[in-house]
Structure 1
Amino acid sequence: MARRAPRAAIDPDRTKPWLRRAWPLVKAHRGLLVTSLLLSFVGLIVQVQIPNLVRVGIDRAVVDQTARLSTYVGWIVALALAQGVINYLARLYLLRTAYEMEYDLRNIVYAHLARLSFSFYDRVQSGELMSRSSSDIRAVQMYLSFGPSILVQCTIALVAFVLMLSINVPLAIVAMITMPVIGILGVTMRKAVFPVSWMIQARLAELATVVDENIQGVRVVKAFAAEGRQVRALAASADRVRWAYLQDARIRSRWSPLLDNLPRLGLALVLLIGGMMAIRGQTTVGTIVAFNSYVLMLQPPFRMLGMMIMMGQRASASARRIYQILDTRSDVTDPPQPRRGRVRGDLRFTGVRFAYPDGTVALTGLDLHVRPGETVAVVGATGSGKSTLGRLIARFYDVTSGSITIDGHDIRTLALADLRDQVGIVPDEPFLFSLSIHDNIAYGRPAASRADVMAAAQAAGADGFVRELPDGYDTVVGERGYTLSGGQRQRIAIARALLVNPPVLVLDDATSAIDVHVEQRIHAGLRTAMAGRTTVIVAHRLSTIGLADRVVLMERGRVVASGAHADLLAGEPRYAAVLAAQNEPADGADALEESR
């Protein structure tokens, strides 16, 4: 089924109230919503006619005996059936409106999350995002769809009041005397509820973060037998949520009984004043019965009014949390007139300086040129900035200063989608989806044939173990690919990158989890795959360095040496020291030759 684009977007004007900003979303679904509200209003008109029929029936058929009782009974039954049909249709259209708005809002939020740069995800917890993308969206959707319906339901008070005025003005005033007090209490309750609603949503997000981290890190938790400690952490977070809910419950228990019972006070006054008027002959028994029905009819709307106030405060807090995401602008965006086209792979770093959002400086004046089709191994101690290179080439981040060019064009002038389609990155900790191995390899080319997928797997040295799995390429891996070994996941990730056939390939220590002997067996396939392709290899092993035409040594965020492995090993002490620190033999010529 094709994905339908959202019909509207949230108003970007941050100065507007949250409801005004959400108005385009409501307006986009006004057809269904207005139909539902009109049907609800018609249903109310039908509903308020029934007590009036009861009044006339009692006065004429029972008291005066001037009409047949069955006539009024028939009309009441007919009106009740009509109201049932109307309410069914109104509810159907209302729920459709609610789910359509929820669909659009979820897509708006997710599409914006997909556009945000890596720096955003570096500082925001995933559980927080999950909460805002689920419970917060639901709170806003409930208010936008059911709020107008509740307001229409509340109009029954106005309709009933008009009918009561047409029947008996003094008694109508008595019946409605408590309603202004209800309005004042509702406003007071709204002011008390808002801060608690914000607190509830924030603490639910904290709880979601704890749960998410425990599920994602369950292997670490179990490895350190930390289940008890994590359960206590979850209990502490849940206790904070419970406290917030208890504050909400206290506010409800303080104000809701008043909102619920004030209409009942109106009922007592109707019985008292109406009874006295009936004794004096100023009204009829049927009128008192009808007014009792109208007062009882007013109770549910005003109870719903209290609920709507609570929903409104929860939605207001949730909307502001959602807007915090939507108002965040990506640090990395497409240029106004992006350059398109296939690149050759002439890669150049010129005076590149880069610091991560937390202030950590990764590169300081980096200069590096990688010729088209050249394979360069980047070597350096931990924290020297090696992995940052690949992230900057694909514009996961933008450089702080300096420039990165491909074929002489600054990568900031290229369309992001085109750039990332032509820069394949294999991280040291690859992520696999809970899909089949075929679908994981074909993630970048969903329409790829089985033959193409198998060819990429063979080049990455994955075909052998995949064929041994129960369902071969149709085997579904577990969440994050944890049903496979680390080395198997890395080979699947390499195959995924090779299938896209990018002109620039970045292998970020992509064979670190692969056995050295297995790694040597897949090098032939990698050499063939890298032929004519600009490749940057973040390397630690001599066997991996053997794939490169040239080796670059990095230190403190810049290139300090460049050349062939043997030359660097003989003339650059820092290079030998880095290899020794990584537990590789500094005189590993034999290993290097074997890898070649």
Structure 2
Amino acid sequence: MPTAPRRAPSAGIHPDPSKSWLRRAWPLLRAHRLMLITSLALSFVGLIVQVQIPNLIRIGIDRALVAHTEPLATYVWLIAALALVQGVINYLARLYLLRTAYELEYDLRNVVFGHLMRMSYGFYDRVQSGELMSRATSDIRAVQMYLTFGPSILVQCMIAVIAFGLMVSINPILAVVAMATMPAIAVLGVRMRKAIFPVSWLIQSRLAGVATVVDENIQGVRIVKAFAGEQGQVDTLARAADRVRWAYTADAKLRSRWIPVMDNLPRIGLALVLLVGGLMVLRGQATVGTVVAFNSYVLMLQPPFRMLGMIIMMGQRAAASSQRIYEILDTKADITDRSETATPSPRGELHLRHVHFVYPDGTTALDGLDLHIHPGETIALVGATGAGKSTVGRLAARFYDVTEGQILLDGVDVRDYPLATLRDRVGIVPDEPFLFSVSLHENIAFGRPEATRAQVEAAALAAGADAFIRDLPDGYDTVVGERGYTLSGGQRQRVAIARALLVNPPVLILDDATSAVDVRVEHEIHESLRTLMTGRTTIVVAHRLATIGLADRVVLIDGGRVVADGTHAALLATSPLYAQVLATVSEEEPVA
């Protein structure tokens, strides 16, 4: 079923890290300001309606119940009508506020996820996936809550200003008495803000630690079970959860110290109003209706004071979360399009000139490697584990940039190709294929979503996957489990090969891509690959003699350099190291 095109985010985060977190988030709010302002305006109107109700109660009591000058029913209907109007206004205000919240969250999630998709391999070598998941979920929600509900709560708090204005117009003395606790609440709010911020940061950080443990265990559940490590991992999670519990306990202690005080200060104002107002009524300086109305106003002020404490805590949590999000957004991708150089017609010539490469963790993979692969040639890269064979493919596809030296594709430095163009021209099948939790058709067509069913089937047939796919209950529409684990290792590899073949790249890199299939299936795949390799430059990272037999020539790598180059027979006769490497590999079948 065709899906609707994704709507691009309305705005992003301001790139200047020197700005405050709120100023950096301002472009997001500005993009949805119309809806947010409408919600806030309606909330404000609702407040004006709300504060009229106690005033009507005052007038009704004084005129209908005490003086008997007007009918009581008039005020009952007026109050009921105001309550109905307020309900409609609050409904609309809430509707627009929630729509703003969802739009903000949509934009922020897309901004963060889009940035993550642009990050290079080296970034994911350094960062834990659980940490990224936490920042892309709970941290985003904390920021969204504050950006939308924060302004709404501030507007709600304005009821105190409106109510105070009305109270002053009715009885200035009682108004001052009712608001006597406000300065104390302001001071407590500032102190509470300073106390909560460090704990808010700690909570978010430790929640990310729990997410990392859970994510790693879900992805590695087969290893955990294979080594009976369930209890050990439960203990690891328990330790991470204990750290979260400690942070939450510290947060609860702070809340229990500050929130009750902020909640109860308005009640002190209520007691003062009853005391002073009662004395004024006894002396004839105020009416009973006035005291009742002021009691209602003081009760009306309690929720804003509680929300004031809430907004302080939300602000601290959002500030901590925003900094964690900005850490990701401020990280620049190592691999980017550095130019718009015109690319030549694809021929598939690959030339590595004195290439040095060191992984981010400091491991030297290539140390002055020189290799020239002619268009349409198939070579096998052979070497001991850690010799740098797989690194050649990763650099050719520019998953990483060379530390020194140069890699040329059709005479142009791979760094001068737009990344999308380069990845179209250099296809790679990794030794550990990854499948998405979608249909097999969608997995194979991942690089060419517009491909027809016939094209997908042709690629699967060439990769030796068509037969087992057709045996599945839903054929090509079968949805595979997470990471493709409902298929065998060999089946996943064949699907990954089909995915690469469908793109039809002029350079194809098979990184030990048939290691998980048996000899018979491997032979079938090789027979298909022989035809598909014709006219296509192919690099085969080989561990089996049968795979080496696909190559026109064999390149032996040791210590990050090419130490021998020639046919299998020539190297076997002249290179003791080559024979030694092959001796460590089981010979499933003779070389063709």
TM-score, normalised with respect to structure 2? 0.98
Q: Which moved more, 1:516-525 or 1:237-246?
A: 516-525
Amino acid at match of 1:591: P
Aligned partner of 1:430 in structure 2 is 433
Amino acid at match of 1:148: P
Alignment CA distance shift 1:246-1:189 (3 Å): same
Amino acid at match of 1:592: V
CA distance in 2, matches of 1:340, 1:576: 41
Aligned partner of 2:165 in structure 1 is 162
| Matching residue within 269, 280, 287 for 1:266 | 269
1:254 and 2:257 matched? yes
Aligned partner of 1:591 in structure 2 is 590
Amino acid at match of 1:219: R
Deviations 1:438-473 (A, max 9, x none): 111111111211111111111111112112222221
Deviations 1:203-241 (A, max 9, x none): 100000111111111111111111111111111111111
| Matching residue within 358, 362, 377 for 1:359 | 362
| Matching residue within 449, 452, 457 for 2:460 | 457
How far has the Cα of 1:338 moved from its partner?
4.0
Amino acid at match of 1:554: I
Aligned partner of 2:552 in structure 1 is 549
How far has the Cα of 1:342 moved from its partner?
4.4
CA distance in 2, matches of 1:338, 1:232: 54
CA distance in 2, matches of 1:521, 1:41: 73
Amino acid at match of 1:257: P
CA distance in 2, matches of 1:581, 1:341: 42
Amino acid at match of 1:286: G
CA distance in 2, matches of 1:167, 1:252: 36
Where do 1:44-443 residues align within 5 Å?
Answer: 44-340=47-343, 342-443=345-446
CA distance in 2, matches of 1:346, 1:120: 29
Residue ranges of structure 2 left out of the alignment (5+ in a row): none
CA distance in 2, matches of 1:91, 1:464: 56
Deviations 1:275-329 (A, max 9, x none): 1111111111111111111100000011011011111111000000000000000
Aligned partner of 1:500 in structure 2 is 503
Paired residue secondary structure (1:473)? helix
Paired residue secondary structure (2:590)? helix
Asked if the contact 2:160–2:301 (Cα under 8 Å) also holds between the matched residues in 1, the reply is yes
Paired residue secondary structure (1:403)? strand
CA distance in 2, matches of 1:346, 1:422: 11
Q: How many residues align?
A: 589
TM-score, normalised with respect to structure 1? 0.98
Aligned partner of 2:538 in structure 1 is 535
Aligned partner of 2:481 in structure 1 is 478
Deviations 1:83-106 (A, max 9, x none): 000000000000000000000000
CA distance in 2, matches of 1:91, 1:445: 43
CA distance in 1, matches of 2:511, 2:41: 61
Aligned partner of 1:575 in structure 2 is 578
Q: Which moved more, 1:385-394 or 1:518-527?
A: 518-527
Structure 1 runs of 4+ off > 4 angstroms? none
Paired residue secondary structure (1:378)? strand
Residue ranges of structure 1 left out of the alignment (5+ in a row): none
CA distance in 2, matches of 1:15, 1:26: 19
Paired residue secondary structure (2:13)? coil
Q: CA RMSD in A?
A: 1.0
User: Identity of paired residues, percent?
Assistant: 72
CA distance in 1, matches of 2:289, 2:159: 20
CA distance in 2, matches of 1:343, 1:259: 71
Amino acid at match of 1:303: R
1:8 and 2:20 matched? no
How far has the Cα of 1:341 moved from its partner?
5.6
How far has the Cα of 1:582 moved from its partner?
2.3
CA distance in 1, matches of 2:167, 2:212: 55
Asked if the contact 1:339–1:415 (Cα under 8 Å) also holds between the matched residues in 2, the reply is no
Paired residue secondary structure (2:516)? coil
Amino acid at match of 2:278: G
How far has the Cα of 1:337 moved from its partner?
2.5
| Matching residue within 497, 515, 519 for 1:512 | 515
CA distance in 2, matches of 1:422, 1:93: 48
Asked if the contact 1:430–1:489 (Cα under 8 Å) also holds between the matched residues in 2, the reply is yes
Paired residue secondary structure (1:582)? coil
Asked if the contact 2:429–2:510 (Cα under 8 Å) also holds between the matched residues in 1, the reply is yes
CA distance in 2, matches of 1:48, 1:391: 68
Alignment CA distance shift 1:541-1:104 (3 Å): same
Asked if the contact 2:344–2:410 (Cα under 8 Å) also holds between the matched residues in 1, the reply is no
| Matching residue within 555, 564, 567 for 1:564 | 567
CA distance in 2, matches of 1:339, 1:352: 24
Asked if the contact 2:356–2:368 (Cα under 8 Å) also holds between the matched residues in 1, the reply is yes
CA distance in 2, matches of 1:50, 1:403: 78
Asked if the contact 2:339–2:417 (Cα under 8 Å) also holds between the matched residues in 1, the reply is no
Amino acid at match of 1:90: A
